[in-house]
């Protein structure tokens, strides 16, 4: 497998948004029965396979580990696995900027209150139209609304801790946490 850090292609997750935006992938605790757990495992395997074949994998992993504590499944990792990777690195990233990662949007921060304001002001508008107004993904709007329903605080924009890991350090930690048993690992294409 060859992977680049170029961002010239559409993220593969955007073409599988039903999978990547599934609550079962975004919130593993929802798998409360054997059947749901089985589905969750199958979905996770499929998403992992897509990420491992994605040309943005390395860039996406670095961002999701070292720059922003994004929600849900991305870069072949669950949110919990990324937290473990940060533990290995001694890295602390403030939660939670779930708008800014390779597969989510163009990189700007979405105002949580603005999402709620638009939703309340235009209850008959589709979530897609809210996403268009805000210039973000449908997934981002859904996540903000889920957060609001659960009464969870939405964090400030993520900050780097004083440690700034190298890409190699992140990949090594990733391999330790996630990829020990995998036959293939993400590697950077030689320049």
Q: Interface residues with ligand SF4 (CB under 6 A)?
A: 11-13, 50-51, 54, 56-57, 60, 74-75, 102-103
Minimum distance from residue 178 beta carbon to ligand SF4 (Å):
13
Q: Which residue has the tokens 């946490």?
A: 177
Return the number of the residue (86 or 118) whose C-beta is nearest ligand SF4: 86
CA dist list (Å): 67 to 49, 77, 162, 165: 23, 15, 12, 10
Contact 147, 154 (CB under 8 A): yes
Minimum distance from residue 37 beta carbon to ligand SF4 (Å):
22
Q: Give the CB-side neighbour count of residue 6, counting CA atoms within 13 A.
A: 10
The length of the chain is 191
Return the number of the residue (77 or 118) whose C-beta is nearest ligand SF4: 77
Instruction: For 124, list phi and psi in degrees, rounded to 5.
Output: -90, -5
Minimum distance from residue 52 beta carbon to ligand SF4 (Å):
8
Minimum distance from residue 186 beta carbon to ligand SF4 (Å):
9
Q: Which residue has the tokens 């709007």?
A: 141
Return the number of the residue (17 or 129) whose C-beta is nearest ligand SF4: 17
Return the number of the residue (72 or 165) whose C-beta is nearest ligand SF4: 72
Q: How far apart (Å, rounded) are the C-alpha atoms in residues 169 and 177? A: 12
Return the number of the residue (77 or 169) whose C-beta is nearest ligand SF4: 77
């Amino acid at each position: 497998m060859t992977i680049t850090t170029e961002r010239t292609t559409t993220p593969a997750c955007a073409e599988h948004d039903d999978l990547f935006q599934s609550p079962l992938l975004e919130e593993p605790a929802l798998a409360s029965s054997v059947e749901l757990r089985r589905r969750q495992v199958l979905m996770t395997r499929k998403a992992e396979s897509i990420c491992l074949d994605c040309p943005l994998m390395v860039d996406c992993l670095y961002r999701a580990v070292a720059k922003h504590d994004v929600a849900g499944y991305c870069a072949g990792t669950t949110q919990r696995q990324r937290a473990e990777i940060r533990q290995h690195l001694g890295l602390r990233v403030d939660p939670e900027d779930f708008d800014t990662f390779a597969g989510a949007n163009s990189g700007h921060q979405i105002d949580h209150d603005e999402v709620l304001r638009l939703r309340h002001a235009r209850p008959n508008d589709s979530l897609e139209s809210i996403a268009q107004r805000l210039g973000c993904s449908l997934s981002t709007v859904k996540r903000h609304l889920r957060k609001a329903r659960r009464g969870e605080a939405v964090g400030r924009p993520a900050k780097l801790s004083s440690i700034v890991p190298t890409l190699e350090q992140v990949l090594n930690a990733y391999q330790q946490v996630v990829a020990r048993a995998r036959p293939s690992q993400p590697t950077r294409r030689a320049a």
